[in-house]
Amino acid sequence: MSRTGRIRAEATAAARSFLRRRTAVFFTFFFPVLLVLIFGVVVQSGGTGGGLFALPPAYYVPGYLAVVVLFTPLSRVGSEVARHREGARFEKLATTPLSRAEWLLAQTLVNAGVIGLAALLIFVLVVVATGARVVLGAGTLLVVPYVLLGVVLFCGLGAVLGRVADSQDGVIAASNGVALPLLFLSETFVQPDLLPGWLPVWASPLTYFSRGVRAATYGPADGSPGLNLAVLAALAVGFFLAGALAVPRTD
């Protein structure tokens, strides 16, 4: 079987396994929808005062998308690594032609499909439920590569967390511990002027996702969509390679 065939086999098995865990599927979609409803509809944005959610709803589109782009790959790939390790599946796979990079790529493809669908749902929901005025045009399509690169990046990071954590519980705790600060300190929901100047938001890969998606959907922000895309792509490659190396091969 060719490399493509191996990746297809792994991705098919991973997709079936995921889609048959109904609770996991439900909450993958429900969690971001819940956030949109809470922050976009209940709390509401676009008020005249200061503080959080003071800007027009479209400003927060990157934040809502970041929820799935960040949380889902971290927890899914991390848990999958832990699950594979506990079931001696890596021990088995290490004696097959499937490489660690191919395994991670297959997991990433499944995540890309799931998260792409969830991102589309959220995008539509934000527009419909919050009345966000999203800039529509050819540049808006840049959201697609941003989401895909974000998925690749955080799948790599998820594999690293899965390697470091010693159990599925540990992976969930670790991924929450990493994702929550990133989510709120990466120019997603909290605009830069509300963050302390010393905070190195540039160090968060999610910042480039936020800036790029915002530039594509809200209007010119910090940096061009192309520049942020290039940075995100470079980071995605780096994190993917780190993740592939982190996938366990031995006991």
* Span near another protein by CB under 8 A; candidates 41-49, 153-161, 199-207, 243-251: 243-251
Which residue number, 6 or 214, has a Cβ lying nearer to another protein?
6
Which residue number, 20 or 193, has a Cβ lying nearer to another protein?
20
Calpha distance 153→212 (Å, rounded)? 15
Using CB atoms within 10 A of its CB, is residue 220 exposed (0-12), middle (13-18) or buried (19+)? exposed
Cα torsion at 236, 241, 242, 246 (round to 10°)?
Answer: 130
The values of phi and psi at residue 191, to 5°, are -70, 155
240 touches 156 (CB < 8 A): yes
- 3-class DSSP assignment, residue 21: coil
Q: Is 25 in the site for another protein (CB under 8 A)?
A: no
Shortest approach of another protein to residue 95 CB, angstroms? 4
Stretch 124-153 residues interacting with another protein (CB under 8 A): none
Q: Is 250 in the site for another protein (CB under 8 A)?
A: yes
* Span near another protein by CB under 8 A; candidates 13-21, 44-52, 58-66, 153-161: 13-21
Using CB atoms within 10 A of its CB, is residue 127 exposed (0-12), middle (13-18) or buried (19+)? middle
Count the alpha carbons within 13 Å of 241 in the hemisphere toward its beta carbon. Answer: 5
Which residue number, 91 or 222, has a Cβ lying nearer to another protein?
91
- 3-class DSSP assignment, residue 250: coil
Q: Is 76 in the site for another protein (CB under 8 A)?
A: no
Q: Is 9 in the site for another protein (CB under 8 A)?
A: yes
Taking phi first (over 0 means left), then psi (-120 to 50 degrees means alpha), and beta for anything else, what does residue 118 get?
Answer: alpha
Shortest approach of another protein to residue 25 CB, angstroms? 12
Q: Site size for another protein, by CB under 8 A?
A: 29
Q: Is 15 in the site for another protein (CB under 8 A)?
A: no
Shortest approach of another protein to residue 251 CB, angstroms? 5
Stretch 77-106 residues interacting with another protein (CB under 8 A): 86-98
Given the rule CB under 8 A, which residues bind another protein? Answer: 1, 5-6, 8-10, 12-14, 16-17, 20-21, 86-98, 249-251
